[in-house]
Structure 1
Amino acid sequence: MASSYRNNKKYDVFVSFRGEDTRDNFTSHLYSALSRQNIQTFIDDQLNRGDEISESLVNAIEASPISVIIFSESYASSRWRLDELVKILECKKEYAQIVIPVFYRVDPSDARNQTGPFGISFSKLEERFKRIQRSCGVGGKL
């Protein structure tokens, strides 16, 4: 399966990031630097209008041998980013995709232990899901 994955490569690098935290600074500089080296890089502002975002992101992740995950303070506040992270880790396991974590204004131990600003963002997302579950009459943990 890994050989068919390599044949379908569309991008060299997929970048996962929380736009409001890093789009206009770190991520844009990283993208520019990779582009100057002719490295085909996917960031989410390259989606075509009318594309179904989730399917487009899954395809881009699968079509990239390398993923760079920019963990920022509010990265964990986005369910979308966490779903994206799960897909990246599945590709790492299934296709031996290279995953490079970047900690932007976040201590790696805060991400690992879900503490500090990163942990606060994660807790807010978890609380939002609990409220949704209660309003829908669904119980249980996330």
Structure 2
Amino acid sequence: MDDDDDDDIYSTPSFRYRWDVFLSFKREDSRHNFTETLSRELIRNGIRTFRYDEELERGEEIAPSLVEAIQDSAAAIAVISSKYASSRRCLEELARIVEYRKLNLPVFYKVDPSDVRRQKGPFEEDFVKLVQRFGENKVGRWRRAMEKAGDISDWDSRIW
């Protein structure tokens, strides 16, 4: 093995991606406070951060550029707030993050991780509405993604 082969072994995986972190968040819950500060600090520390600030129109599919950004990110931070499950875009982002097996670092912004995991508390009513609108098959993907995120309960904003 020559020296060039050694460089490949030790190269940082994030350099294979356009973004270090994909931020998933519900605009109305956290954009102007927590997520804005988090995004600014990530960028200030040299972390290439993708943050989508546009809202989807009712019935609109997740934008191909968002799917591409998730695929082209080394990791994701899902800022899960009380209204997160009311957003089809947020749930679809989270499902894609899980399906693409991205390192997911969920932040539980003023919510209980066990409520996220079980879709209870502030999420329960939103999931009932989602099932009525989209059916159990589609919503099942989103439920599994929320369950998986809720299992990672290290970043609970309520205890900081």
TM-score after normalising by structure 2: 0.67
Distance 2:86 2:36 in 1: 21
1:59 aligns with 2:64: no
Q: CA RMSD in A?
A: 2.3
User: Higher relative CO (CA 8 A, sep ≥ 6), structure 1 or 2?
Assistant: 1
1:74-93 alignment runs, 5 A limit = 74-92=83-101
The runs of 5 or more residues in structure 1 that have no matched partner are 47-51, 131-140
Give the direction of change, closer, same or farther, for the CA distance of 1:80–1:22 in structure 2 (3 Å limit).
same
For structure 2, list consecutive stretches of 5 or more residues without a partner in the other structure: 1-12, 55-60, 138-160
1:125 to 125, 130, 154: 130
1:7 to 1:34, Cα distance in 2 relative to 1, 3 A: closer
| Percent of aligned pairs sharing the same letter | 47
Letter of the 1:85 counterpart? L
Q: How many residues align?
A: 120
> Residue 82 of structure 1: CA displacement?
1.2
Measured after TM superposition, the shift of residue 68 of structure 1 is 0.5
Deviation of the 1:127 alpha carbon: 3.3
AA aligned opposite 1:22: S
Q: 2:26 aligns with which of 14, 18, 22?
A: 18
